Structure 1
Amino acid sequence: MSECPWYPNYLKKVSINMKVYYQILLFGLLLLSIYSCSSKTDKQILIYAAASMTDSLNEIVTEYELRNPDVKINFNYGGSQALAAQLNQGAPGDVFISAGYGPVGFLLNSDKIHLKSISQIASNKLVVVTRSSSKMPTAIEDIQNINRIAIADPDLAPAGSYAREALRNIGLWEDLTEKIVFAPDVRATLNYVRTGNVDAGIVYYTDALSVPELVKHDLISQSSYGTILYPAVIIEDGDTIAEAEALIEFIMDDFSKTILQKHGFILPSYE
């Protein structure tokens, strides 16, 4: 049976609390499996990170673990809002790398969790992606002629919030509402386009680079949405703060900057 492209719209009707509950339950089972298989002498660091950082962080952490063999790093990738909600509801974690400051601000305003050492590690931009067989848009207004357009769910991932903000400011959101298909995160958005379940998607530039067969269209003015920043924060709980601080320093050093740039990220200015 082929995938139903409209299934993601059903997610709009499911409460965010239920989504987060099941995400925590499933991730908790995964976490138990990971920790039971790791050496008891390893220092465990658990990173919650925006899905758009997957490729670059995996590469950076592989090198970090080679240089620090007594440290084992595990990941929970996903939409940043959903990850922040998991942490706020008590899920264990040591580092949170968000796409956008909104999810970090949510945690800073919570009395259930304490954060420290906010560091800006990168920034990004939005692009439109299509399959090579699709009719190529030459201006952002051309997406009005596309039947189905995927974006990340704005309630779960900042990529969707930025996409919605851009379309509203450009004046297209109301006209496109019936054509929008929500995906859980930006990587799922790419997959909907790649598999033909939708005709186009709006994603981060860095994620678009991870699927070479898709065509990238740089049509969305960066003035139509807020600056896409990636803050990294350390969670003040447990005995891994020193290791987490060392990891953040490594993510911001020259080796990691080269990896981030290779994957299309824009480096922040520290002046």
Structure 2
Amino acid sequence: MNKSSFFLLIPFLVSLIACTSNSSEDKTIYVAAASDLYHALTEIGEEFTNDTGIQLEYTYGSTGLLTQQILEGAPFDLFLSAHESYINRLVERDVIFDDSTAYYAVGRIAIMSRMDRTLDKEYFLDPEVNVITIANPEHAPYGKAAKETLETWGIWEEVEPKIVYAENIRQAYQYVESGNADLGIIALSLMNHTNFHYEVIEEGTHEPLLQALGIPKQAGNKALSQEFSNYILSEKGQSILLKYGFDILK
């Protein structure tokens, strides 16, 4: 090949490299997810990537704060909330595709403690318990469920002075894990990878945690996002959610 032919090829090669680069970038889905999904969604994502080659990038946080970020234009491709009301709010604000929404699981809460003892509502009143943690009920559905449970048990006013609010449910778990809290009300889904003591809380003590997902309209690739959404809702995805303590809507 002579020099003139080579230089004529340069624009084509640059274009080809750019297209390849863009194609690679397009194969990444940016997922915003409630913190209770930290372990379960990571496993689902690993299986999805193994099956499809599509990469995933996660941002975990409280559902309320992630909702606000989406309203402000954060470039997420898929949003998994810890409560349906936040997805409904985004649909009403016309920032999520209405036809992309679906329930994917029902969350459960549990008492978590560093102490090997009976975990019941009486434990919250024990004088030796100085710090109790829950996620902030103002923007975390699991925190709201925790507060509702304490109200149902009739001990909210007594224990409220001991409450330390975490930014999200995974941070609440970390407060107990680190010893900064004596016990907490945590997402059952986070207890799968722990040796700490826990007791599942009965469902009737709080409003059901109906968890829903949707694709924001600023999604970079709706088709890819829908593919991952379908995978979460598939038998394989649902079986992983079950393994981590979620209930599945029939």
Q: Same fold (TM over 0.5)?
A: yes
Structure 1 residue 176 displacement after superposition? 0.9
Partners of 1:238 and 1:129 lie apart in 2 by 37
Map of 2:44 onto structure 1: 60
C-alpha separation in 2, matches of 1:126 and 1:153: 14
What is the aligned counterpart of 2:96 among 111, 114, 120?
Answer: 114
2 CA distance for matches of 1:138 and 1:56?
A: 25
Compute the displacement of 1:55 (Å): 1.1
CA distance in 2, matches of 1:176, 1:135: 21
Of the candidates 228, 231, 236, which is equivalent to residue 209 of structure 2?
228
Instruction: Name the SS for the 1:127 alignment partner.
Output: strand
CA separation in 1, counterparts of 2:222 and 2:119?
49
Query: Counterparts of 1:138 and 1:190 in 2: how far apart (Å)?
Result: 16
Superposed CA offset, 1:27-86 (max 9, x none) = xxxxxxxxxxx95322232111011111111111112122222x3221111111110011
What is the CA-CA distance between 1:108 and the residue it aligns to? 2.5
Tell me, yes or no, if the aligned pair for 2:116 and 2:197 is still in contact at 8 Å: no
1:89 match: 72
Residue 163 of structure 1 deviates from its aligned partner by 0.5
1:245 is aligned with what amino acid? Q
Counterpart for residue 195 of structure 1: 178
Bigger fraction of residues in helix: 2
The equivalent of 1:137 in structure 2 is 118
Compared CA separation, residues 179 and 257, structure 1 to 2 (3 A): same
- The superposition leaves residues 178-198 of structure 1 with CA deviations (integer Å, 9 ceiling, x where unpaired) of 000111111111111111111
Give the secondary-structure state (helix, strand or coil) at the position aligned to 2:174: helix
Structure 1's 260 and 89: CA in aligned 2 closer, same or farther, altered over 3 A? same
With normalisation by structure 2, the TM-score equals 0.84
Which residue does the alignment assign to 1:48? Answer: 32
2-side partners of 1:200 and 1:238: how far apart?
39
AA aligned opposite 1:46: Y
> Structure 1: which amino acid aligns with 2:97?
L
Note the residue ranges of structure 2 that are not aligned, 5 or more in a row. Answer: 1-19
TM-score, normalised via structure 1 length: 0.78
Match of 1:178 in 2: 161
Q: Which residue of 2 aligns with 1:161?
A: 144
CA contact (8 A) 1:137 1:143 kept: no
Partner of 1:267: 248
Measure the CA separation in 2 of the matches of 1:46 and 1:126: 27
Distance 1:62 1:232 in 2: 19
Q: CA distance change for structure 1 residues 250 and 181 in 2, over 3 Å: closer, same or farther?
A: same
1:18 aligned partner: none
Deviation at 1:200, TM superposition (A): 0.2
Q: CA deviation at 1:138?
A: 4.5
Q: What is the CA RMSD across the aligned residues, in angstroms?
A: 1.8
CA distance in 2, matches of 1:97, 1:231: 6
Distance in 2 of aligned mates of 1:108 and 1:118: 9
AA aligned to 1:221 is: E
- CA shift digits 1:198-244 (9 cap, x unpaired): 10010111112222x210123x3311101112211111235511111
The answer as to whether partners of 2:96 and 2:214 remain within 8 angstroms in 1 is no
Indicate the SS of the match to 2:113: strand
Q: Which residue of 2 aligns with 1:247?
A: 228
In the TM superposition, structure 1's runs of 4+ consecutive aligned residues that sit over 6 Å from their partners are none
Aligned partner (choices 81, 90, 101) of residue 98 of structure 1: 81
Using the alignment, how far apart are the partners of 1:147 and 1:141 within structure 2?
Answer: 14
Equivalent residue of 2:76, what SS?
A: coil
